Amino acid sequence: MWIKLFTLGMAGASVCLSSTVVSAAESDKGFIEDSTTSVGLRNFYWNADNRNGSYRNPEGERQSFRQEWAQGVLAKFNSGYTQGLIGFGVDLHYMGALKLDGGNGRVGDGIGNGGIVARDNQGEPKSGYSKAGGAVKMRVGQTELAYGDLFPDSPVLKYGDIRLLPQTLRGFNVTDRSLDGLTLNAGRFVSSSDRAQPNHGGHLGTAYSGRQADSEFVSYYGGIYTGVNNLKIKLFGSELDDIWNQQFASLDYRLPLTVGGVVNTGVNYYRTRNTGAALLGDIRNDAWSARAGYALGGHKFELAYTQIDGDQPFDYVWNSFDIELDAASQGSDFNSPNEKAWSARYDLDAAVLGVPGLTFTARYIRGTDINGRDAGGAYSRYKAVRDGSQWERDLWVKYVVQSGPAKNLSLRLMLASMRTGGDYGAIANDLDQTRIILDYPLDLSFLR
């Protein structure tokens, strides 16, 4: 993803870029001394063949071919804290996007089906857009509080950063690290700035029902415990106003073997129930997944199983990507009503072959038993599916430059093919998709 931005107090805010960061200072000295400044460039190419014209564009027309190409930039300044018992600081960011290719009839909807090139109020592709935001923050001991445009990161509310630019949410967030091995988080947000739009006042909602103007906030709370060797425990809950209450629990365990290698196991569970005015109708959904893998040297093999128990799909917050189920992938979330999915995955770190910086992933996922005959409310379209299935095949290759003037530049190729079976094609798209993503962190060492 994007370049990692180390921040001293962006409470609960996940880093938005994932490579490197330039720090103005590494000691806990003050507002300026502990500040960080980072600028990252992202070039994103998206090509999708929705076979047989199965994708319906925002004009209601069926189309098969979509192609988008755009250049983005994300700049961030994160201050340190003022000295004293209570410290204060500020975080600022700027995002900009420029369309390189993608005319009307070829771009997606700016949400899930595409999302590289934004559209204006008339539905026309924009040539470019930009936005800026920020947050004020306060620290007392090991507790940090921030208010503004933030990047929350949790299993029940995670900002989306799977397109050209990341999503932000407006509200407050608190993080506490007072106890060794335990990180606690909580927050409440009232609007979203979508990943392909310049405004900060977007309505909340869900990925599979769209925006919901009457849902006024999303809140979350929980923590991650790593105080036991090789074990990670996550417990979280959230409320999406007048839509649902959602709880999440997970265990992840690594077992080093005396004969060599590491066994990786884990289980994830979501419980979602409607609440308040139930704007989306009745929701009773339990979604879980379990996995087991083995890693040796640069090789890793993993098998996983995911199951959705409920007459609605497993859903998550609008434009975000808070889905920690093992079958979720590039083309499909494998989260339809009553779906059962098996997946197999192989990862290679080519450093063991003498090519440091090169990684490779191959995946296959198959979902069966999709049955939405009893779906209602916002998910009524699933009623058309009584015996559906789908499969997806993914191939991902990434290379990160290890040294020289282009150090930390990364290039990713992501290929996915997804097909539907049974009567699932009534609501889902067959798909062949290509993404090419170039992330380039600018060297700001001269600011040190």
Q: What are phi and psi of 64, to 5 degrees?
A: -105, -50
In which region does residue 289 sit, left (phi positive, over 0), alpha (psi from -120 to 50) or beta (all else)?
beta
Ordered DSSP codes for 12-24? TBPPSB-S---BS
31 part of a folded domain: no
**pLDDT band (50, 70, 90) for residue 310:** very high
In a domain? residue 10? no
| Model pTM score | 0.88
Q: Would you say residue 240 has pLDDT above 90?
A: yes
Tokens 């609605």 -> residue? 312
The domain total for the chain is 1
- On average, the pLDDT of the chain sits at 88
Q: Record the tokens describing residue 447, joined without a space.
A: 């600011």
Q: How far is CA 248 from CA 107, 197, 211, 251, 323, in A?
A: 35, 30, 23, 11, 10
Per-residue pLDDT for 387 more than 50?
A: yes
Q: Which residue has the tokens 């849902």?
A: 215
Measured from the Cβ of residue 102, the count of other Cβ atoms closer than 10 Å reads: 23
Q: 3-state class of 272 per DSSP?
A: strand
- Tell me the per-residue pLDDT of 316-336, one tens digit each, with 9 for 90 and over: 999 888 689 999 999 999 999
What is the mean pLDDT of the segment spanning 409-435? 94
> Where does the pLDDT of residue 24 fall: very low under 50, low under 70, confident under 90, or very high at 90 and above?
very low
Q: In angstroms, how far is the first alpha carbon of the chain from the final one? A: 25
- Which of left, alpha, beta for 111 (phi over 0: left; psi -120 to 50: alpha)? alpha
Phi, psi (5° rounding) for residue 250?
A: -150, 150
Q: How far apart are CA 448 and CA 441, in angstroms?
A: 16
Spell out where 257-337 has E strands. Answer: 262-274, 284-296, 299-309
Name the burial class of residue 185, with classes exposed (0-12), middle (13-18) and buried (19+) by CB atoms within 10 angstroms of its CB. Answer: buried
Q: What is the CATH number of the domain that holds 83?
A: 2.40.160.10
How far CA 409 is from CA of 43, 46, 163, 441, in Å, comes to 11, 19, 18, 6
Specify whether the backbone of 379 is left (phi greater than 0), alpha (psi in -120 to 50) or beta: alpha
Question: According to the model, what pLDDT value does residue 23 have?
Answer: 34
> Can you read off the two tokens belonging to residue 207?
């990925």
Average pLDDT over residues 184-212: 90
Computed from CA positions of residues 166, 172, 178, 179, in that sequence, does the dihedral angle turn out positive or negative? negative
Whether 28 maps to a domain, the answer reads no
Length of the chain (residues): 448
Tokens of 317: 């917050």
Q: Which amino acid is at 286?
A: D
Which residues on neighbouring strands pair with residue 134, listed in sequence order? 92
Buried (b) or exposed (e) across 135-174, using 16+ Cβ within 10 A?
A: bebbbeeeebbbbbbbbbbbbbbbbbbebbbbbbbbbbbb
User: What residues does 75 pair with on adjacent strands?
Assistant: 39, 94
pLDDT value at residue 113: 54
What is the arithmetic mean of pLDDT over 130-152?
Answer: 96
The answer to whether residue 26 sits within a structural domain is: no
Q: What is the pLDDT of residue 14?
A: 33
Domain presence at residue 202: yes
φ/ψ of 380, rounded to 5, equals -60, -25
Residues of the chain by 3-state class (helix, strand, coil), percent to 5: 5, 50, 45
108 pLDDT more than 80: no
> Which of 104-108, 311-315, 375-379, 382-386 is least confident?
104-108
What mean pLDDT is predicted for residues 179-188? 97
Please, which pLDDT band fits residue 109 given cuts at 50, 70 and 90? Answer: low
Residue 4 lies in a domain: no
> Which pLDDT does position 52 carry in this prediction?
63
Integer Rg of the chain from CA: 22
Lowest mean pLDDT among 183-192, 236-245, 265-274, 321-330: 321-330
Domain that holds residue 140: 36-447
Local structure of 53: helix, strand or coil = helix
Say which residue, 443 or 133, is predicted with more confidence: 133
Alpha carbon 218 to its chain centroid, in Å, reads: 17
**Residue 13 reports pLDDT greater than 70:** no
From the centroid of its chain, how far is CA 259?
36
Burial class (CB in 10 A: 0-12, 13-18, 19+), 404: exposed
Instruction: Give per-residue pLDDT as tens, 57-74.
Output: 555 556 677 888 999 999
- Domain membership of residue 43 (yes or no) is yes
Which amino acid, 278? A
* Residue 297 Rama label (left phi>0; alpha psi -120 to 50; beta): left
Task: Identify the weakest region by mean pLDDT among 102-106, 204-208, 335-339.
Answer: 102-106
Q: Which residues contact 278 (CB under 8 A, 6 or more apart)?
A: 242, 243, 377
pLDDT band at 9, cuts 50/70/90? Answer: very low
In a domain, 58, yes or no: yes
